[in-house]
Amino acid sequence: MIAELGLAVLWMAAALAVLQLVAGALALRPATAHLAGVVRPVAILQGALVACAFAALIWLFLSTDLSVKLVAENSHSAKPFIFKLAGTWGNHEGSMLMWVTIMSLAGGFVALIEKRLPENTLIATLAGQAFVSLGFYAFLLLASNPFERLPEPAPEGAGLNPLLQDIGLAFHPPTLYVGYVGLSIAFSFAIGALVTRDVGPAFARAMRPWVLGAWIFLTLGITAGSYWAYYTLGWGGWWFWDPVENASLMPWLAATALLHSCSVLAARNALRTWTVMLGVVAFSMSMVGTFLVRSGILTSVHAFAVDPTRGTFILALLAIYIGGALLLFGLRASTVTEGARFAVFSRESSLVFNNVMLCGILGIVLVGTLYPLLTEAMGVKVSVGPPYFNPVSSVFAIPMMMVMAVGPVLRWREDKGGRITWQVAVPALVSAAALLAVELIFAPINLLPALGLAIAPGLAVASFQPLVGRNLRRTPLPIYGMVVAHFGIAVALFGMASEGAFSTERLAAMNPGDSQQVGPFKVTLQDIGPIAGPNWTALEATVSASYSGGEPTILHPQARTFANPPGNRTESALLTRWNGQLYAVLGEEGDDGRWQMRFWWKPFVPMIWYGGALVALGGLLALLGRVARDVKRLVAVDKIAYRRERQGR
């Protein structure tokens, strides 16, 4: 019953999306402008209905209704509660429904609260949002119905892929989806603005919270995904330039550029066309990423749910939306009036530089990700990995971080070099000192980690400079947000560089009782024995590790075997100290009875993820600041309106 109800509600929501699109499009014509009043309520209702459909699916999964095909294929009655819940979106159909749900809820939210935009632009935006959602509704209802019943209920579910039975991964995809979908709102705003040719600060201010929100979630998603790959794959690496990782990185790069160009447009009414284009590009990258992952066109260590027909469907959506948006952009861009001008030496210029560098990195990642596809069409098989991505993206990332240290202290419109001599000199000196120290004490170190170790402290110092000379209590929250986010980049950069420069690895076959020296740690294999979890069994090693002769800590790396469905997974064990992490993996038993063990000592590696978290925190501060100001303004406007009304009487 619940399943049929969910499906019916989903169809109704799709019908409302049609109504929202048609009414919105008609409302833009003077003759049928009275339809404008329909659009907002319809958008809100649509969001509410889809939320009900998604709730129905969650209910089916939680109650393990095995007469529903999706539940039978992806869940199991013996699974822990949290993974039953995560099973809702840990599969293709459920994740698409989640995508549509978030998208429509966000659309409804825009309809509910957005008051700044000219009404026409808002109507066009909501129509655009409905247009985008419709494609996904079609995808769900025609090609991947999540509520399909089995002819006969299955006796037991098939379970969830063991790799996905991990708390981090259970909540990782939804985080990224929220990010992608937030960018779909930015996309709709860009379309709305192109349709009405009304690109200005109001548009940027309306779009900015959504971009910020999306960007926060993308940052968190990428950071968490990187940590997940780090501790579950058991390879000791934190970023593999895998197509799936690149698929989440590319929207982030575009969103970061969009965020900064949005600031320019909001504050200075410049970079109008560029911002609109980035709005289109950011969401395009989300869809391109989804397509690359879902179609199976590129293989990856993360590959799941690969199906060429689904790939075709997403490709069709991609062609319609992105092709359409870029066509609209081509037609309208030259009619968007030019924004305000600025000097070569100004904050705007530094942000333009940042934007172009980010787009350069984006291009490099995209080309590297697609290159195997290109050569394969010509009959040559290649794979592209860190030897390409690391140095080539650094060519753009390093100048960007240098400008990033200076940009925030520049003035809008135009500035003089003499004014900021100190602000340039201090970080430059810090970096130079760091570089010298690195070269003298730790040489030889590869070029990229050495540069990273040099730039990170300079950038860290520079990121606080916008606060110098300000009254700290009256500094707006978004400034703090920027400071924290830039500082987070410096922290993450330091972690990456330190991991690259100072990691030590030890691989050994050990008998219980054997010891190994790993960096400053002495590790001893004490015992190996079986252990059982809720739905898995494992071999567990007991390893004691003592840091330069200190008290030993016990670690338990495991090799887990899952029963439903069958599969294996290594569970690495981590020992985190303030200055780094010890990473232990249990391998196989050799013919001679010794066990393969692999250890890494990675100094300061957690800073990568602390840095990512700081970046997200910075985004959150900025978002809070912006929203608080908007709310204040709204209240003030309401008050004035109220007073006028009273005076009128």
How many angstroms separate the CA atoms of 268 and 214, rounded? 23
Q: Residue 465's CB: how many other CB atoms inside 10 A?
A: 20
Interaction of residue 360 with another protein, rule CB under 8 A? yes
Q: Is 364 in the site for another protein (CB under 8 A)?
A: yes
Q: Please report whether residue 363 would count as binding another protein according to CB under 8 A.
A: yes
598 binds another protein (CB under 8 A): yes
| 312 belongs to the binding site for another protein (CB under 8 A) | yes
CB of 640 to another protein, least distance (A): 25
Segment near another protein (CB under 8 A), from 146-154, 219-227, 413-421, 618-626?
Answer: 413-421
Q: Does 329 bind another protein (CB under 8 A)?
A: yes
Q: In the range 1-30, which residues lie near another protein by CB under 8 A? A: none
Rg (CA), the chain: 27
The site string for another protein over 365-384 (x = CB under 8 A, - otherwise) reads: --xx-xxxxxxxx--xxxxx
**Contact criterion met (CB below 8 Å) for 303 and 390:** no
CB of 396 to another protein, least distance (A): 7
Q: Which two tokens stand for residue 535?
A: 């739905």
Segment contacting another protein by CB under 8 A, of 85-93, 166-174, 299-307, 431-439: 299-307
Using the rule CB under 8 A, is 326 a contact of another protein? yes
Cβ proximity to another protein, 46 vs 393, nearer residue: 393
- Cβ neighbours of residue 599 closer than 8 Å, sequence gap 6 or more: 505, 506, 507, 516, 518, 521, 523, 582, 583, 584, 585
What is the per-residue burial (b if ≥16 Cβ within 10 Å, else e) of 41-64? ebbbbbbebbbbbbebbbebbeeb
Among 5, 340, 403, 574, binds another protein (CB under 8 A): 340
Q: Choose which of 59, 109, 235, 610 interacts with another protein (CB under 8 A).
A: 235
SS3 of 517, please? Answer: strand
Token readout for 355 is 């934007």
Q: Which of residues 141-170 bind another protein (CB under 8 A)?
A: none
- 388 lines the binding site for another protein (CB under 8 A): yes
Of 136, 100, 185, nearest to 310 (Cα)? 136
Whose Cβ is closer to another protein: residue 84's or residue 332's? 332
Q: Which of 144, 184, 295, 431 binds another protein (CB under 8 A)?
A: 295
Smaller CB separation from another protein, 175 or 393 = 393
The interface with another protein within residues 73-132 (CB under 8 A) comprises none
The residue behind tokens 């569970």 is: 571
Residue 425 binds another protein (CB under 8 A): no
Query: Which part of the chain contacts another protein (CB under 8 A), choosing from 88-96, 103-111, 305-313, 599-607?
Result: 305-313
Q: How far is the CB of 246 from another protein (least distance, A)?
A: 13
What is the distance between the alpha carbons of residues 124 and 102, in angstroms, rounded to a whole number? 20
Q: How far apart are CA 358 and CA 360, in angstroms?
A: 5
Residues 488-507 that bind another protein (CB under 8 A): 507
Q: Does residue 337 interact with another protein by CB under 8 A?
A: yes
Contact 132, 110 (CB under 8 A): no
**How far is the C-alpha of 409 from the C-alpha of 426, rounded, in Å?**
13
307 in Cβ contact with 296 (< 8 Å) = yes
Please report, as a single letter, which amino acid is at residue 565.
Answer: P
The region of 104-112, 214-222, 296-304, 450-458 touching another protein under the rule CB under 8 A is 296-304
Distance CA(95)–CA(146), nearest Å, equals 9
Closer residue to another protein (CB): 335 or 647: 335
359 makes contact with another protein (CB under 8 A): yes
Residue 373 contacts residue 303 (beta carbons within 8 Å): no
DSSP state letter for 146:
T
Minimal CA–CA distance to 213: which of 620, 621, 591?
Answer: 620
Q: Which stretch binds another protein (CB under 8 A): 118-126, 274-282, 520-528, 606-614?
A: 274-282
Instruction: Give the interface segment with another protein, choosing from 17-25, 75-83, 248-256, 340-348 (CB under 8 A).
Output: 340-348
- Considering only residues 531 through 570, tell me which ones interact with another protein, judged by CB under 8 A: 567-568, 570
Report the nearest approach of another protein to the CB of residue 247 (Å). Answer: 13
Distance, CA of 616 to CA of 612 (rounded, Å): 6
What gap in Å lies between CA 16 and CA 126, rounded to an integer? 12
153, 385, 529, 550: residue in contact with another protein (rule CB under 8 A) = 385
Q: Of 229, 322, 484, 607, which one interacts with another protein (CB under 8 A)?
A: 322
**3-state DSSP assignment of residue 470:** coil
**Would you say 257 or 454 has its CB closer to another protein?**
257
DSSP element (H, E) containing 474: none
Query: Candidates 19-27, 122-130, 269-277, 601-609 — which segment interacts with another protein by CB under 8 A?
Result: 269-277
Nearer CB in complex with another protein: 191/277: 277
Phi then psi for residue 233, to 5 deg, are: -75, -20
Judged by beta carbon, residue 301 or residue 437, the one nearer another protein is: 301
Q: Could you say whether residue 277 binds another protein (CB under 8 A)?
A: yes
d(CA 526, CA 542) in angstroms, rounded, equals: 5
Q: Does 509 bind another protein (CB under 8 A)?
A: yes
Rule CB under 8 A: say whether 590 interacts with another protein. yes
Interface stretch with another protein, choices 211-219, 220-228, 329-337, 610-618 (CB under 8 A):
329-337
CB 606 within 8 A of CB 226: no
Maximum distance among all alpha carbons in the chain? 96
Amino acid at 38: V
Residue 231's contacts (CB-CB under 8 Å, 6 or more residues apart) are 572, 574, 583
Q: Does 574 bind another protein (CB under 8 A)?
A: no
Choice between 341 and 632, CB closer to another protein: 341
Q: Which residue, 184 or 570, is less far from another protein as judged by CB?
A: 570
**Rounded to whole angstroms, how far apart are CA atoms 125 and 108?**
12
Tokens of 332: 């309208």
Residue type, 396: F
Spell out the SS3 assignment of 232-268: HCCCCCCCCCCHHHHHHHHHHHHHHHHHHHHHHHHHH
Q: How far is the CB of 342 from another protein (least distance, A)?
A: 8
Q: Which of 89, 136, 230, 396 binds another protein (CB under 8 A)?
A: 396
343 is an interface residue for another protein by CB under 8 A: yes
